[in-house]
Structure 1
Amino acid sequence: MTILPADLTIPYITAREGEEADYLLNLRVGIGPDRRPQLGYVNEEPPDRDPRGVLWARYSMSLDVGGRPTGTPRWRLVHPLRQRTTMALLRCQVCTAPVKRGDGVLFVETADDRDGCTGPVRTAQPPVCLPHARMAVQRCPRLRSKGHVALLATRYPLYGVIGTPYQCTSDGIRPLAGTDTPLPYNHPLIGWFLASQLVRELRDYEVVNLDDLLSGT
């Protein structure tokens, strides 16, 4: 068993040892509101779908007596429900505190030359509060390896999801190759998608320096 430092803060969205995906055998063909076949669960419950009707991957949670995630962090993995919750409710991905500021909502994304981009940015990285912005950069392997850019956004509507597409074959339901490319909510194949991350599109934003923001607090 890995012994973690008592003062180590682990981002809320980070998956933990012992948290596992549900069996694929629990997936089935259902009928959507438009009366067309779509992906569903056996014994499906309302929380399995988001408000726009997209099916989400079930994932167990390892929680302590206070309801907080516990266990050794799996640093490269994100828990689907915790990512979905923080992104949908605009909560900090580290501590779950509300992140709305008077000047916008802070997102930290991989660099990818985004600091020279003026177009919309689609991100699956939930927002972060200013006190934990540096920690998010240091603890996320992707941000640490590829560099980061901080974006203070004033328009950030939900765009779609990242996950795994499925198809119905003569041998039953089969997954297709997953992709990191977000699928928009209005995509015709969204009914056959098993979502694992929620995506927002940052439409109005300013590229900011975290050090400047922190020095102004």
Structure 2
Amino acid sequence: MSDFPDCQPRPARAGLVPYIVRWSGERPVNTPVVAKGRTGIGYQHERPGDRDARGVLWTRYVRAPGEGTPEFGGVHPYRQRRAMRRLLCQVCSGPADRNERGVLWLVGNAGRGWSGEDVTGHPPVCLRCAGTARRACPYLRKSGTLALRVRDAPLVGVSGKLYEPHRRDLVCLGPVTLAYDDPRVRYLQATQLMRALRDWTAVDL
């Protein structure tokens, strides 16, 4: 079953607001997280799309792109997850640019170098939207931008809020990023999907 049973692509408004950006009219749905015994956490009444293909629980969010004002410092979990899974451009939601050297990604910290095993929650981009992504993302504007062609970018984990069972209740331990093979991931309420960028070449756009 698809992780996105009712998803329709939504282009960025006038090409200025990236597809993955959260709008002020989009907020978390107030659904209590409950313990599911040794299987981890869940919702009392789960529905399609609450879990990804690896069985990790995801935060429920109102989906209303275009309502209110864009919050450029945050991403919408549903759209970020869709873009990462399908390698879609984070700005226009079309296919990310790909050639013989790999898929196009923009990463920060250009002035401090980049290792070969970095993990990112930023989806890739298409050539047409690379400039918009660089201007719209506060992180990229602050840290500088490095363009990469990536040949190997597997899905490796998730970011979100980690819970811990405590007697008959759950205690929220705060935000973490966990690999899919970490046993604690069954107690994570995810908000971002992560890929490792392993086999890459820096390029000049």
TM-score range, shorter chain: 0.7 to 0.9
Distance change (3 Å), C-alpha of 1:208 and 1:173: same
Deviation by residue 1:77-123 (Cα, 9 ceiling, x = unmatched): 110010000000000000011115222111111116564x4522211
Which amino acid in 1 is paired with 2:186? G
Q: Distance in 1 between matches of 2:24 and 2:42?
A: 27
Structure 2 residue 178 is matched with structure 1 residue 158: no
Alignment of 1:33-112 (within 5 A): 36-63=38-65, 69-103=66-100, 104-111=102-109
Which amino acid in 2 is paired with 1:27? V
Alpha-carbon deviation of 1:15? 0.3
Q: Distance in 1 between matches of 2:115 and 2:163?
A: 34
Q: Distance in 2 between matches of 1:8 and 1:153?
A: 25
Alignment of 1:116-127 (within 5 A): 117-127=114-124
Consecutive unaligned residues in structure 1, runs of 5 or more: 1-5, 64-68, 211-217
Which amino acid in 2 is paired with 1:205? W
Alignment of 1:136-147 (within 5 A): 136-147=133-144
Identical pairs, percent: 40
Is the 8 Å Cα contact of residues 117 and 197 (structure 2) preserved in structure 1?
A: yes
TM score, norm. by length of structure 1: 0.82
Q: Distance in 2 between matches of 1:10 and 1:168?
A: 39
- State the aligned residue count: 192
Dislocated runs of 4+, deviation >2 Å:
112-115
Distance change (3 Å), C-alpha of 1:85 and 1:57: same
Distance change (3 Å), C-alpha of 1:109 and 1:11: same
Larger Rg: 1
Q: Distance in 2 between matches of 1:70 and 1:108?
A: 27
Is the 8 Å Cα contact of residues 90 and 100 (structure 1) preserved in structure 2?
A: no
Q: For residue 170 of structure 1, what is the aligned residue in structure 2?
A: 167
Q: Distance in 1 between matches of 2:84 and 2:164?
A: 28
Distance change (3 Å), C-alpha of 1:154 and 1:62: same
Consecutive unaligned residues in structure 2, runs of 5 or more: 1-12
